[in-house]
Amino acid sequence: MKDLDSNSFKAIAERYKCVACFKEYKQHEHFVEHMKKSYHSVHQPRCGVCEKFCKSFESLREHISGKLAKAHCSSIFSQKGCEVCLKVFPDLYALSEHQESCILTAPAPIGTTDIQYNEYDPMEDEIYIGKCPEAVAIDCQLVGCYDGGRLDQLARVCLIDEEENIIFHTFVKPQEPVTDYRHEVTGLTEAHLRDAMPLAEVQAKILKILYNGESVAKARLHGGKAKLLVGHNLEHYLDGLLMNYPEKLLRDTSLYRPLMKTHVANASHTLKYLTKTYLGYDIRSGINDTYQDCVSVMRLYKRMRSQEHQDEKTTMICSNNTKLHVGFDDRTSKELENMSPDQLFEISVSDYQCWCLDSRPRDPPREWY
């Protein structure tokens, strides 16, 4: 991006061009309006050819290989681009080498067998300090109770760690009589749940893993040793578990902005779609395999976490030892009027928490000093 100083840009620009999405505006105030509502940031998915920032991977895919794709970008992408992660490589050799680790295959399903796992031991404090938060992925299967099986209740839970090892798995004893086992999707029958673990015990075991020896208060405040919980439609599962977990520790693949639909506001893709599109393999063709679903969400999370984004250049001021961002609302229209497209981009921040930030060590809480 070229750096235009704030006085020279006015003279040479008849139009104001957004340095992130390249849209052009005749009037500066319309351009500022665009910047205010676009939430552009270095965390947005970006075209590897023209460096345009896009709202989501779906818009990037359209830009690079859709029906109305930019000709130059799409011709380069079709030769040297990876269809799964949408990155562009210097040559065919680099592309094919990359694709060996980018296009994945489905892990072996576990079916409806009960799986052995080792009882979880919370982490020692010393091991945690200065590290990035660890993530755990969850998948649940729900069966129906009441009239026509309309109401969901938890029947099975699986938790895996970042290395795709099962750290907890159990069938769950239903609280209410089951009226629909949803066998064609869950593969479950009455026999699986007859002597299953009671819900209260399931909750306690999961919370022990997640809080990881941390106090609830500390976990809410800054995370501490508590783990990040990754899943697809987590709210649905937490309801089934009758369980709460701090919002800031949830990583939901159905709500992560870059993975969501662009043309329908706040609409999610299915896990089946995300797995096929962003990991390169099929799941959920018949019975949903709880382990395969867990692995898919973990792989999606890790892929998003490993995105390499620049540090934001946003202006921060310090107040009471807390860094505060100075955004559009903190500036007068006069100040905004005198800012160049580059400067406006610099004060713009995203309206979601990018998962790449999970790969940076958390700020240690103040009581450690």
- Please give the residue ranges that form the binding site for Zn ion (CB under 5 A): 18, 20-21, 23, 38, 43, 47, 49-50, 52, 73, 82, 84-85, 102, 309, 354, 356
31/171 with CB nearer Zn ion: 31
CB of 42 to Zn ion, least distance (A): 7
Is the CB of residue 89 less than 8 Å from the CB of residue 81?
A: yes
CA 189 to centroid of chain Cα atoms: 33
Going along the chain, which residue ranges are E strands? 16-17, 24-25, 135-145, 151-160, 166-171, 178-180, 228-231, 250-252, 316-319, 322-325
147/311 with CB nearer Zn ion: 311
159/354 with CB nearer Zn ion: 354
Q: How far apart are CA 90 and CA 201, in angstroms?
A: 53
Q: How far apart are CA 145 and CA 177, in angstroms?
A: 6
CB of 86 to Zn ion, least distance (A): 7
Return the exposure string of 342-359: e unless at least 16 CB atoms fall within 10 Å of the residue's CB, then b.
bbbbbbbbbeeebbbebe
Q: How far apart are CA 275 and CA 255, in angstroms?
A: 15
87/236 with CB nearer Zn ion: 87
54/188 with CB nearer Zn ion: 54
CB of 40 to Zn ion, least distance (A): 5
CB of 31 to Zn ion, least distance (A): 9
Q: Is 263 exposed, middle or buried (0-12, 13-18, 19+ CB in 10 A)?
A: exposed
Q: How far apart are CA 161 and CA 165, in angstroms?
A: 6
User: Residue with structure tokens 């997640």?
Assistant: 210
206/260 with CB nearer Zn ion: 260
Q: How far apart are CA 292 and CA 304, in angstroms?
A: 18
CB of 148 to Zn ion, least distance (A): 44
Q: How far apart are CA 15 and CA 344, in angstroms?
A: 15
Report the largest interatomic distance among the alpha carbons of the chain, rounded to a whole angstrom. Answer: 77
DSSP calls for 226-275: PPEEEESSHHHHHHHTT----GGGEEETTT-GGGS-SSSTTPPPPHHHHH
State the amino acid at position 311 in one-letter form.
D
* Tokens representing residue 349 in the block: 């921040």
Contacts of 217 (CB under 8 A, 6+ apart): none
104/287 with CB nearer Zn ion: 104
CB of 20 to Zn ion, least distance (A): 5
State the amino acid at position 209 in one-letter form.
I
CB of 362 to Zn ion, least distance (A): 15
CB of 204 to Zn ion, least distance (A): 35
23/236 with CB nearer Zn ion: 23
CB of 49 to Zn ion, least distance (A): 4
CB of 309 to Zn ion, least distance (A): 4
54/159 with CB nearer Zn ion: 54
20/138 with CB nearer Zn ion: 20
